[in-house]
Amino acid sequence: SQTIHQWPATLVQPVGSPLSLECTVEGTSNPNLYWYRQAAGRGLQLLFYSVGIGQISSEVPQNLSASRPQDRQFILSSKKLLLSDSGFYLCAVGLGQLRYFGPGTRLTVL
Amino acid sequence: GESVGLHLPTLSVQEGDNSIINCAYSNSASDYFIWYKQESGKGPQFIIDIRSNMDKRQGQRVTVLLNKTVKHLSLQIAATQPGDSAVYFCADQTGANNLFFGTGTRLTVIP
């Protein structure tokens, strides 16, 4: 079975600072990978998905970007964080129609 | 547009009672539904799923019911335990990458 690692687990960043969140996956090859954001008291919003190395699809226009430099590595980045970027960021692996989620990164932008 | 929502944002039940969490969806073309459980500070975990060609599916202590006529989905948890306290999400899938989540219902189990 697959294992999903995310780091850092928590992060506090000032407005305007850069961001890099990392997700790595074990136990599966060529997975579909996803970045979701969960704002407080809200559902999960799909940000990006990737079906392979270098292939990124963006679902929501914003100041975030994603990259997939390796088969089992998915990175979420920003050049300048906004207050509205605060939230719980979840990386997920797609297996068939199911999503398996990582432990998440709690980002607070001050 | 497509929406998946929940009738109640919070639900409190006594330990040992059965819990019922409801969800409504709007897209009649939806053909696959999933329930997730999310404990505080953790990622969502898969509980159970159901396809639109079924109206009921049972797992261990959980049952999902699907009523396509009224576009309603429910999750039943039997003999609710303190470990069941969490936020429960339903999700509606219409394509390989189109998984829409509701806002969630927070279940609190009272000892």
pLDDT (tens digit, 9 = 90+) per residue, A63-90?
Answer: 999 999 999 999 999 999 999 999 999 9
Among B46, B93, B97, select the one facing A49 at the smallest CB separation: B97
Q: How many angstroms separate the CA atoms of B34 and B19, rounded?
A: 17
Q: Which residue has the tokens 């999903």?
A: A4
Per-residue pLDDT tens digits for B12-71: 999 999 999 999 988 888 889 999 999 988 999 999 999 999 999 999 999 999 999 999
Is-cis flag, bond preceding A8, omega within 30? yes
Instruction: Kindly indicate the confidence band of residue B99, based on its pLDDT and cuts at 50, 70 and 90.
Output: confident
* Average pLDDT of the segment spanning A96-107: 92
What is the predicted pLDDT for the residue at B101? 84
What is the predicted pLDDT for the residue at B96? 62
What is the predicted pLDDT for the residue at B97? 64
Which has more confidence, A1 or A86?
A86
| B37 min Cα distance to partner chain A (Å) | 11
What is the predicted pLDDT for the residue at A95? 85
What is the predicted pLDDT for the residue at B7? 45
Asked whether residue A98 carries a pLDDT value surpassing 90, the answer given is no
Instruction: Kindly indicate the confidence band of residue B1, based on its pLDDT and cuts at 50, 70 and 90.
Output: very low
Among A43, A46, A57, select the one facing B102 at the smallest CB separation: A43
Residue B73 one-letter amino acid: L
Per-residue pLDDT tens digits for A43-53: 888 899 999 99
CA neighbor of A4 nearest in space, from A72, A87, A50: A72
- CB spacing of B104 vs A57 below 8 angstroms: no
- CB spacing of A44 vs B101 below 8 angstroms: yes
The answer to whether the CB of B91 falls within 8 A of the CB of B100 is yes
Give the mutation candidate from A3, A47, A60, A97 for the B interface (greatest B CB count, under 10 A): A97
What is the predicted pLDDT for the residue at A43? 80
Among B41, B44, B103, select the one facing A101 at the smallest CB separation: B44
The answer to whether the CB of A6 falls within 8 A of the CB of A74 is no
What is the predicted pLDDT for the residue at B49? 95
